[in-house]
Amino acid sequence: MQQTLIALEEVSLIFRRGWLSRERVEAVSRVSLTIPEGGILALVGETGSGKTTLGKLVAGLYRPTQGRVLFRGQNLWTMDRRSFLEYRRAVQLVHQDAFAALNPVRTIYQSLKAPLLRHRMVRNGREARERAAELLERVGLTPPELFLDKYPHQLSGGQRQRVLLARALTVQPRLIVADEPVSMIDVSLRLSILQLLRELNRRLGIAILYITHDLATARYLAEEGQLAVMYLGQIVEQGAFRKVLENPCHPYLQALLSAIPIPDPRVARAIRPMTLQEIDPPDPRRPPPGCRFHPRCPYAQRICREIPPALEGPADHQVACHFAREIPSWRLSSAVSPSPWA
């Protein structure tokens, strides 16, 4: 059994607008998740679903309004200073926009040197430069001498993303929160970044929380791990990646799968597109009562508009839907491959 590294227990986060305004947005609502040591969890959902906010809760950048974030069994916001510093080193965030995440007036060496010296991973500048060179080699930027004294604007998007990974590795983390790490780089470079993340997981045992809206890249990275599907601040389906995709039960995940373009016309013709009642998601400031997906769900009934469904089922496949057992699972024709990526 893998030990739990990070656990979220009924975590909610509410943003309030202004000092006197009563307007509030529940960006994350009663989410429970676990990330095991050395595991991979893919968190997927459309824009505005709360994925990035949840990632920042895991990284300790936001304090939850309700619930607990546990690091190796300790509450993140009640632990002592020494334990909190250990957590800060253990969990690192890789941002979506690599150019904005790097200081434009610092060289790559200076960006890597700062955490090394701050956390006393090296004793002096000479050791820091040697360590920085080793990290650049580990993320595939070779020879490192060509990159250490360059500025971020002198690198390509893929190279900057690798520098962010190298910076995350400076403090020997146990978890990397990768927030859409390949969405802003060329398609031709995305595979290399995903391969690098997979290598870090396999060789160094670093757990990965991979946040994305792209199920195809999520499958490539986390097929042996876990999948959690997020909609309007809530987890609607989660479990073992393969098991969830083999039998997607929630209408939202079925809609995501049916929207994936299939390059084989024979396979594409065999798929019956799923039609939603509404195209756009509801305003997150005023989420609908009951199931938050019911205004768009083609299977919604009265109970869906009145009672929020609980996330139920075995640990390897849980679904938050009143009719999960009655709705036909979205599948490709039995005459073709059971997966749109096979």
- Note the pLDDT tens digit of each residue in 268-282: 676 667 778 888 888
Question: Does residue 6 contact residue 58 with C-beta atoms inside 8 Å?
Answer: yes
Is the per-residue pLDDT at 330 higher than 70? no
158 inside domain: yes
CATH of the domain at 48: 3.40.50.300
247 inside domain: yes
Is the per-residue pLDDT at 113 higher than 90? yes
CA-CA distance, 213 to 179, in Å (whole number)? 10
pTM of the model: 0.91
337 inside domain: no
115 inside domain: no
Q: pLDDT-based confidence at 337, cuts 50/70/90?
A: very low
Mean pLDDT of the chain: 89
DSSP, collapsed to helix, strand or coil, labels residue 283 as coil
Q: What's the rounded mean pLDDT across residues 45-69?
A: 95
CA-CA distance, 282 to 265, in Å (whole number)? 33
Is the per-residue pLDDT at 98 higher than 70? yes
Q: What's the rounded mean pLDDT across residues 19-28?
A: 81
Q: Is the dihedral of CA 87, 90, 95, 101 positive or negative?
A: positive
303 inside domain: yes
DSSP, collapsed to helix, strand or coil, labels residue 203 as helix
- Note the pLDDT tens digit of each residue in 157-196: 899 999 999 999 999 999 999 999 998 888 878 889 999 9
Q: pLDDT-based confidence at 23, cuts 50/70/90?
A: confident
Residue type at 297 in one-letter notation: C
Is the per-residue pLDDT at 40 higher than 80? yes
Provide the token pair at 268. 């594409």
9 inside domain: yes
341 inside domain: no
Domain tally, the chain: 1
Is the per-residue pLDDT at 57 higher than 90? yes
Q: Which helix (H) or strand (E) holds 75?
A: strand 74-75
Which structural domain range is residue 95 located in?
Answer: 4-105+151-319
110 inside domain: no
